[in-house]
Amino acid sequence: MDIDDAKRIAGIEAANFVLSGMKVGLGTGSTVKHTVVELGRRIKDEGLEIVGVPTSLATERLAMEVGIPLIELSDVDSLDIVIDGADEYDSNFQLIKGGGAALLREKIVAQQSSAMVVVADDRKQVDVLGAFPLPIEVTPFAYMTTVRSLSHLMNCDVSIRIEEDKPLVTDNGNYIADAQTGPSISNPVDLENEILQIAGVVQVGLFNNMCDAVVLAGQNGISTHFRSNGRLS
Ligand code: 5RP
């Protein structure tokens, strides 16, 4: 099975967590897009009745294309579940997210969800977070000041993500700083809190104590792993 097949099968498997009547957070990325397409198929073919909250403009477009009715997060108290991708996850189910620059909306949606399912391929599973550069959403105002503060805090190179020779602009009008910490984030909870002290930081792509299950795609097929004492176990 090649990696694209694995992502598709995992994405479809993760959609099984969704039941009629649910309010569903719809994540962003090349893996969870298969979940969104599958939910659209189940709405059409099986009469699944759900409403969705997309975590990015790209997912909003896809959800509309496949026929998922959308609501505003601010119009409801909470969501039943969010299904999303990840760039890395460790044995405690702590995550790095934001490779697709959608981390702010993804985190707002995840915080309002009663459960979080991550869909990933097995390259994302790590012992210690940080080989994947840690994405941090920052204000355009004085962004180089923020980059220097982040670099000083983490003692590593931090660079602004560039797209077509210009800083990439997120759906929220901000920039993304990527921190090359290396696989050294052994205490992601403390690091998240320290990064959030810097005024120019809008949000950081560390998702701590949020993920309840991972649907994992590997060479040998699909497996689902539940966090012990998580909200789905
Ligand atoms: C976007 C994300 C994505 O969920 C993450 O980058 C994983 O994406 P993919 O499934 O394409 O590898 O956090 O901000």
pLDDT band, very low/low/confident/very high, at 171 (cuts 50, 70, 90): very high
Q: What is the pLDDT of residues 181-197, one digit of tens each?
A: 999 999 999 999 999 99
Q: What is the pLDDT of residue 84?
A: 98
- Whether residue 43 sits in one domain with residue 99: yes
Torsion 23-25-31-37 (CA) sign: positive
- 62 and 14 share one domain: yes
* Residues 17, 98 within the same domain: yes
* Rounded mean pLDDT, 32-42: 98
Ligand 1 atom nearest residue 30's Cα: 11
**65 catalytic residue (yes or no):** no
Residues 85 and 155 in one domain: no
Domain count, the chain: 2
CA-based angle 57:118:106, to the nearest 5? 30
Q: Is residue 231 assigned to a domain?
A: no
128 touches 226 (CB < 8 A) = no
Query: Is 135 near ligand 1, meaning CB less than 6 Å away?
Result: no
Looking at the structure, do residues 46 and 71 belong to the same domain, yes or no? yes
Q: Which domain holds residue 18?
A: 3-126+208-224
Let me know whether 184 and 219 are in one domain.
no
Q: Looking at the structure, tell me whether residues 113 and 217 fall in a common domain.
A: yes
The gap between the terminal CA atoms of the chain, to the nearest Å, is 29
For residue 117, give the CATH number of its domain.
3.40.50.1360
Split at pLDDT 50, 70, 90, the class of 215 is: very high
Digit-coded pLDDT (tens) for 115-167: 999 999 999 999 999 999 999 999 999 999 999 999 999 999 999 999 999 99
Q: Is 182 left (phi over 0), alpha (psi -120 to 50) or beta?
A: left
Q: Which atom of ligand 1 is nearest to the CA of 32?
A: 10
Going by pLDDT thresholds of 50, 70 and 90, the confidence category of residue 3 is confident
Look at residue 162 and tell me if it is in a domain: yes
Q: Are residues 113 and 152 in the same domain?
A: no
The answer to whether position 233 is within a domain reads no
Beta bridge partners of 142: none
Segment holding 132, helix H or strand E: none
Distance 133 CA to ligand 1 centre (A): 13
- Does residue 11 share a domain with residue 116? yes
